[in-house]
Amino acid sequence: MKQAVDNLYEIFKSITDIDINNLNEGDILLPTGKAISPSAAAHCLLEMKRTAIFLRGIKKAIDQKLENLDRAINILYAGCGPYGTLITPLLTLYSSDEIKITFLDINQISLNAVEKLVTNLGYENFIEDYVLEDASNYKINKDYDIVISETMQACLQNEPQVSIMQNLIPQLNEHAIFIPQQITIDAYLKNPGKWNDKKQQRTGIESKILKALFSVNKTNLDTNHFKEIVQIPENLNGFIELMLHTTIIIFKDEILGVNDCSLNSPRKFYEFKERYANSIEFWYSLLPQPSIECRVLDFVEK
Ligand SMILES: C[S@@+](CC[C@H](N)C(=O)[O-])C[C@H]1O[C@@H](n2cnc3c(N)ncnc32)[C@H](O)[C@@H]1O
């Protein structure tokens, strides 16, 4: 995987002139979250497991659609970045009679780059359109079979994934596939283990699920329902950290779980050292920036 993404990066970089050396230059701050810079979007390619599992899932979705439809399938790629990473490598496997792609991004530099890339690689016949729009309020003018958007970070923070799903999914036909199919946030308790001098690392690290918090998918898009109260067990037995895990179902059995890539990094929300809470409420807020919020409802009496 590492070799494959490194090789792709060299090719994509040399054609587009977009590299990963200006990660923080050119972010666009939208009311719905941050659209990361062309360089940072290019860097996503190098998250090898993310790229591999997305590509596998998207290939399965395309194959399923091709099996059931007697025409070219229409794909909208919302937030394609400069390389169109989650579809470009698959174009070798299909013909332009089978798939038609609309590339959409809010960033003109990324859109120009992806156009240069596919033209240079000789894939221009696959492309229906290049659209410079905000996917969180874009009005769809075509009956898409598959929509792809990876505009997220762990715990659905900062980037506009949820707003984009809220805008695009209700505009799709009921058989359309949105990728990723589901993003789930779960609360875990973690025992951070102890530093082991001999092994020069922490040992005894363990995690156990506390409660599923919420999932966003085709039928669950209303963030008003993204809230949950978590009861903290009386005896923590060393499981003193409360972490949130993000699991992403790309398509069917192609799933990104804890620590597979940065999108699945566990985030620490609490460390119960001296006193700990009885119950904590979690909820998701879209404004001013997408993030999971929480508050202790009641502390344990000492
Ligand atoms: C995390 S990068 C992913 C790049 C590429 N799709 C990949 O997976 O490697 C997100 C991309 O989505 C774009 N983006 C973010 N929010 C957007 C929005 N609301 N509308 C359109 N594009 C957006 C950014 O400009 C960036 O190119």
Kindly list the structural domains of the chain, giving each domain's residue range(s) and its CATH number in brackets, ordered by start. 2-180 (3.40.50.150), 184-299 (no CATH)
Q: How far is the CA of 211 from the centre of ligand 1 (A)?
A: 30
pTM for the model: 0.96
Q: Do 41 and 146 touch, CB atoms closer than 8 A? A: no
**Stretch 253-257: mean pLDDT, rounded?**
98
Residue 8 Cβ < 6 Å to ligand 1: no
Please give the pLDDT value at position 272. 86
pLDDT tens digits along 107-144: 999 999 999 999 999 999 999 999 999 999 999 999 99
- Answer whether residue 302 shows pLDDT above 80: no
- Answer whether residue 96 shows pLDDT above 90: yes
Nearest protein CA to atom 27 of ligand 1, as residue: 81
Please give the pLDDT value at position 25. 84
Percent of the chain past pLDDT 70, that is, above it, reads 99
Q: How far is the CA of 296 from the centre of ligand 1 (A)?
A: 34
Q: How far is the CA of 80 from the centre of ligand 1 (A)?
A: 6
pLDDT tens digits along 17-29: 999 998 878 899 9
Average pLDDT along the chain: 95
Please give the pLDDT value at position 241. 94
Residue 161 Cβ < 6 Å to ligand 1: no
Residue 110 Cβ < 6 Å to ligand 1: yes
SS3 141: coil
Please give the pLDDT value at position 274. 66
Which is higher by pLDDT, 274 or 167?
A: 167
Query: What is the C-alpha separation between 264 and 155, in angstroms, rounded?
Result: 8
Nearest protein CA to atom 25 of ligand 1, as residue: 35
Question: At a CB cut-off of 8 Å and minimum separation 6, what does 37 contact?
Answer: 22, 23, 24, 25, 26, 27, 107
pLDDT tens digits along 46-77: 999 999 999 999 999 999 999 999 999 999 99
- Answer whether residue 235 shows pLDDT above 90: no
Tell how far CA 289 is from the center of its chain.
Answer: 16
Residue 30 Cβ < 6 Å to ligand 1: yes
27-55: b or e for each residue (b if 16 or more CB lie within 10 Å)?
beebebbbbbbbbbbbbbbbbbbbbbbbb
- Answer whether residue 257 shows pLDDT above 80: yes
Residue 242, strand partner residues:
189, 270
- Answer whether residue 150 shows pLDDT above 80: yes
Q: How far is the CA of 68 from the centre of ligand 1 (A)?
A: 29
Determine how β-strand 241-251 pairs with β-strand 254-256.
antiparallel
